[in-house]
A and B are shown apart, each in its own frame.
Chain A
Amino acid sequence: MDKRAEFKAVYDAVYPLIVRICYSITGELHVAEELCQDAFIRYYQRIDTIPTGEQAKFWLIRVSKNLALNHEKQRGRERNAYQRAYRQPKKGPESGETSVLRAEAFQAVQQALRELPENLRTVLVMREYGNLSYREIAESLQISESNVKVRMHRARERLGQVLKEADIYVP
């Protein structure tokens, strides 16, 4: 398999997962796509030194997660600087009257996910949207499987509380 074909195979397999991880961290689709693009450019530049298959996936997950976290830190600094400069209080998300119920639920769940600490949110997103096993999550984040198990439970507990407080229906 030539370099381009190998790269495309990894891209097709991993992009759906890492775009979800980036989206769960940034909350903006176009930002998530840009971060994924950056991650894949870095991967392509090192394709000869990174093992293929699972290791490529784990490497891309780590890089994209770090890129997204760095982006959020940078944005947080910019937001704080803006607020200091103009002395405007932070506004909450606006609820559009035209939004359908499903869209509202979607926004509420995404907001609830973003309220989780990053270390809990990432394992939950990897499991629920990426369908990764505990072993794969552990390898991607370079933590133990038992740690994944603990974080997963805490993430669900916290998310359940946040959704209840936001009055989102959880049976």
Chain B
Amino acid sequence: MYHNGEDISAYLDGELPADAARELERKLEADIAAREELEQLRGLRSTLHDAGEPDFQAGQERVWMSLESQLGLKTPLWRRRVSLPYPAVAAAAVAVFALAGLLVWFVGPSSTGLGDFESAAATAANAQIAVGGVDGEELLGWLREQDLAGDVSMELPENAHFRIMGEPQLMKAAEFRGRGESPDG
């Protein structure tokens, strides 16, 4: 009985269309030579695979490292992922807190006054800071020097006692009202 070796080879590869595969299977049932050929091809395939092959996987990593180096693909140190075990991270955190505690203990509380304000201003672009016991002129002078604030709102204490500066002047009520008005208005 006639059979096509190419079809048997394609059948082995699962590349024969479904109807052609069914037809070939019918032939295989009746044709001993065709069955033997299929078995030979299966044997050949197993020989190819059973003979083994070199360790290609080790080379894959080696070649990649070489490519990284040649093409400048290495990830910068600061972008590399670092995996640390949780116990090590916890131990490091405890150590940092302990050191910080010791530092506070030895140095003591930070100075009052503008020192607090300076550290807060350095870290916040828009901050509400309560400052007690600071001379107002000193604060304004410091802000001017640092060129830190475009708008400064100051909330004065309700029961403030203001010191009178300079000599008192007598003026007419109309003149006093005119002080706060614009020249146009």
CB of A40 within 8 A of chain B? Answer: yes
* Consensus secondary structure, chain B interface: helix
The one of B9, B59, B64, B70 in contact with A11, judged by C-beta atoms closer than 8 angstroms, is B64
Asked whether, in the complex, the Cβ of B40 is within 8 Å of the Cβ of A170, the reply is yes
Asked whether, in the complex, the Cβ of A16 is within 8 Å of the Cβ of B10, the reply is no
What sequence of 0s and 1s flags, for each residue 157-171 of chain A, a beta carbon within 8 Å of any chain B beta carbon? 101100100001111
Rounded to whole angstroms, the CA-CA distance of A19 and B63 in the bound complex is 11
Q: Would you list which residues of chain B between 32 and 50 have a CB under 8 Å from chain A? A: 39-50
Known: A20-B56, A171-B43. A108 touches B73 (CB 8 A): no
Asked whether, in the complex, the Cβ of A16 is within 8 Å of the Cβ of B48, the reply is no
CB of B19 within 8 A of chain A? Answer: no
Rounded to whole angstroms, the CA-CA distance of A32 and B40 in the bound complex is 30
Asked whether, in the complex, the Cβ of B47 is within 8 Å of the Cβ of A134, the reply is no
Closest-CB distance, B166 to chain A (whole angstroms)? 68
* Consensus secondary structure, chain A interface: helix
Set of chain A residues within 8 Å of B48, measured between Cβ atoms: 109, 128, 159
Q: Would you list which residues of chain B between 124 and 166 have a CB under 8 Å from chain A? A: none
Rounded to whole angstroms, the CA-CA distance of A96 and B46 in the bound complex is 25
Closest-CB distance, B34 to chain A (whole angstroms)? 13
Q: Give chain A's interface residues, CB within 8 Å of chain B.
A: 4, 7-8, 11, 15-16, 19-20, 23, 29, 32-33, 36-37, 40-41, 44, 102, 105-106, 108-110, 127-129, 133-134, 149-150, 152-153, 156-157, 159-160, 163, 168-171
